[in-house]
Chains A and B, each alone.
Chain A
Amino acid sequence: MSVDVTRNGPAQAATLSVGCAALVAACVRLAAVPGGPCASALAAVAAVLPGGAQAGEFAALQAIFLSVWLIVWIVLDRALARRELPVGVHQTLFLASLGLATTLWWPPVAEALRARWS
């Protein structure tokens, strides 16, 4: 992939895609209440993955995370290839998405949120 080295767009695309994928994976995990449709969908995804039967829900979440990361990266890379972006805003977005995903993934927080919504 060629890159315009005078623009910071590609660098921001690389980081934002990780934050976005982490947030999506954390939200999917949060929505996967045992017995619910999201958990069934995750189980179905895990069933088609090699070794997914033993690895369970996490294998599906990992596959979703990696897929979202790569797709978002390709899309953002093309969209931001020749753009100079305000770094502060994008780094804040990246850190906020990563921080939020980490908080949502922390099991006690996830369980508390699930209990509140159910």
Chain B
Amino acid sequence: MSLERRSSRALVLALLIFLLEIAAVVVLTTAPLQGLIGPGLLGARSALHALFAGIVMITMTIGVFQGIRLWTSEMPRIEDLEAGSLVNVIACLAALVSGAVLLTARRPDLAAPPALRVFFEFKQFAGMLCLPLVVAACSIIWRYGEALPRSRAVRETAGLVLMLAFFYFMCAFALGAALARLRTLQGVL
């Protein structure tokens, strides 16, 4: 690598860090964070659940690409698969626990309209399925390890489970986002 190219990359990185610092300082000192999170314990719990769901969105997207590659025999590196699947499990566990904690803060006196209850109940089911699916994929990847490329059946099973986990997560995520919006509008759930 030439000296010129290295110095250019360092300059760009330094500039990016500088700009990020300015942005972070400006945002942190001026943003009405209380308004973003919402008042009380319920607001903090909702924000935490949404944050973890956002993280799962990233890990699941990586997972589904790895799953497609497993399915189509384009083996990713085993180390990448192992790390990705483990991070996926941790993120799903955090989202599930924060969802359970959020559920305990729900006000039972606020009855939701039947139409919203349908989506809420299905969201709960879809979210509940994500953790076992990613744990199953993670266990297959970790237990078979280097032997994974040699067994087509096992590779396809792991790929299928990762794709299914993504599907159920997308159901839960989309319905969760829609219901959060409706909750704001109607003050229910």
Chain A residues with a Cβ under 8 A of chain B: 1, 3, 5-6, 8, 10-12, 14-15, 17-18, 21-22, 25-26, 50-51, 54-56, 58-59, 62, 65-66, 69, 87, 91, 98, 102, 105-108
Given contacts A10-B143, A105-B122, contact A59 B103 (CB under 8 A): yes
* B144 touches which of A11, A26, A58 (Cβ 8 Å): A11
Count of A-B residue pairs with CB < 8 Å: 90
Note all chain A residues with C-beta closer than 8 A to B108. 54, 56
- Mostly, the B contact residues are helix
Note all chain A residues with C-beta closer than 8 A to B125. 26, 102, 105
Given contacts A55-B104, A59-B103, A87-B157, contact A14 B129 (CB under 8 A): no
User: Does the CB pair A59–B100 fall under 8 Å?
Assistant: yes
Note all chain A residues with C-beta closer than 8 A to B117. 107
Given contacts A8-B153, A11-B153, A15-B161, contact A62 B144 (CB under 8 A): no
User: Does the CB pair A15–B157 fall under 8 Å?
Assistant: yes
Other contacts beyond A5-B151, A17-B136, A98-B129: 17, CB < 8 A? A10-B140, A10-B143, A11-B140, A14-B139, A18-B161, A51-B100, A51-B103, A54-B105, A58-B121, A59-B103, A62-B100, A69-B132, A91-B157, A105-B121, A105-B122, A106-B122, A107-B118
